[in-house]
């Protein structure tokens, strides 16, 4: 078990930004639609509480890049498991989600997994200036940014060279029309997921591990690494199905920490 502390922005900045998001009703229709669809049995008042907490958390995430005075405690449990899997199978695919302070949680893990080679998968942005900025922001850790189109070749090269490595991927975004799509039940809804992690892991015999986050009332993060697929172990669920179940359980524990403002269910035509 390893605990990491990280400086957070001033709570004053967060409070101002949270009030601004609420006043401007930032993506209110999308958030309301998502919450109603995912939790049809909850009352309007209950959903309103989740939405308010979500705005507060989103302000926290958006201001995380600046310097501050509070401490965020992240407890990473059993990082040795990841190292052992990487040594045995040469590559581990670590799948996360837009939950909690997702980028910070991933960034602070990277020094704990050295000297393993580490990569973070990203989708290239069409605007070159924006893409360059995002690439630079993601290059300040031990994990090298790698474009999704290059992922298979990179994994294969590391496998052939017997170079133990970890690949980070956020897997809960809505897939584009160009991506291979797998459908799974998620929060009671038929949901499209990227099928890349499953195809990659099955074809190249790569373990898939879910980064499961629990956030305590004092803002302590407890991160557990839950294997979704091990090549030599019988697996009842498809990897996408196992991921959907793990993510749903995480969200239901504390729904305010998931990114409700993105259009997750475009396939169901929920949005105007």
Q: List, run by run, the mean pLDDT of 10-residue segments along the chain (272 residues).
A: 61 79 90 97 97 93 61 87 95 96 90 94 70 64 86 91 94 81 95 90 93 92 95 80 97 97 94 86
Q: What is the domain range of residue 195?
A: 78-254
Query: What is the spatial distance between Cα 243 and Cα 53, in angstroms, rounded to a whole number?
Result: 25
67 found inside a domain: no
Question: pTM of the prediction?
Answer: 0.89
User: Domain tally for the chain?
Assistant: 1
9 found inside a domain: no
The single residue listed with the structure tokens 């705005």 is: 55
Number of H helices, E strands in the chain: 9, 10
Please provide the DSSP assignment of 155-219 as one string: HHHHHHTT--EEEEEE--SPPPTTS-EEEEEETTEEEEEE-HHHHHHHHHT--EEEEEEEE-TT-
pLDDT at 24: 82
pLDDT at 118: 95
197 found inside a domain: yes
245 found inside a domain: yes
- Indicate the SS3 state at residue 243: helix
222 found inside a domain: yes
pLDDT at 132: 65
155: nearest Cα among 212, 103, 86, 109: 86
Query: What is the spatial distance between Cα 242 and Cα 237, in angstroms, rounded to a whole number?
Result: 6
36 found inside a domain: no
pLDDT at 177: 67
Query: What is the spatial distance between Cα 115 and Cα 142, in angstroms, rounded to a whole number?
Result: 9
2 found inside a domain: no
pLDDT at 129: 63
How many Cβ atoms sit within 10 Å of the Cβ of residue 68? 17
82 found inside a domain: yes
């Amino acid at each position: 078990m390893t605990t990491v502390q990280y400086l957070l922005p001033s709570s004053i900045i967060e409070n101002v930004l949270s009030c601004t998001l609420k006043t401007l009703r930032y993506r209110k229709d999308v958030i309301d639609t998502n919450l109603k669809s995912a939790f049809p049995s909850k009352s309007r008042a209950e959903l309103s509480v989740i939405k308010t907490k979500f705005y507060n958390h989103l302000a926290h995430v958006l201001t995380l890049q600046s310097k501050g005075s509070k401490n965020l405690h992240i407890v990473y449990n059993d990082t040795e498991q990841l190292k052992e899997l990487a040594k045995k199978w040469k590559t581990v695919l670590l799948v996360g989600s837009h939950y909690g302070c997702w980028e910070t949680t991933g960034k602070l893990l990277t020094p704990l997994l050295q000297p393993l080679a580490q990569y973070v998968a990203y989708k290239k942005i069409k605007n070159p200036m924006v893409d360059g900025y995002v690439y630079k922001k993601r290059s300040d850790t031990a994990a090298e940014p790698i474009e999704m189109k290059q992922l298979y070749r990179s994994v294969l090269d590391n496998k052939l060279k017997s170079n133990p490595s970890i690949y980070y991927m956020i897997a809960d975004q809505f897939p584009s029309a160009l991506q291979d799509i797998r459908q799974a039940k998620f929060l009671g809804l038929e949901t499209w997921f990227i099928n890349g992690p499953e195809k990659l892991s099955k074809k190249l015999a790569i373990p898939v591990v879910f980064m499961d986050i629990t956030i305590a009332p004092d803002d302590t993060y407890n991160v557990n690494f839950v294997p979704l697929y091990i090549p030599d172990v019988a697996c009842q669920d498809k990897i996408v199905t196992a991921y959907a179940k793990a993510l749903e359980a995480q969200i239901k524990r504390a729904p305010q920490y998931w990114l409700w403002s993105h259009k997750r269910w475009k396939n169901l035509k929920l949005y105007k």
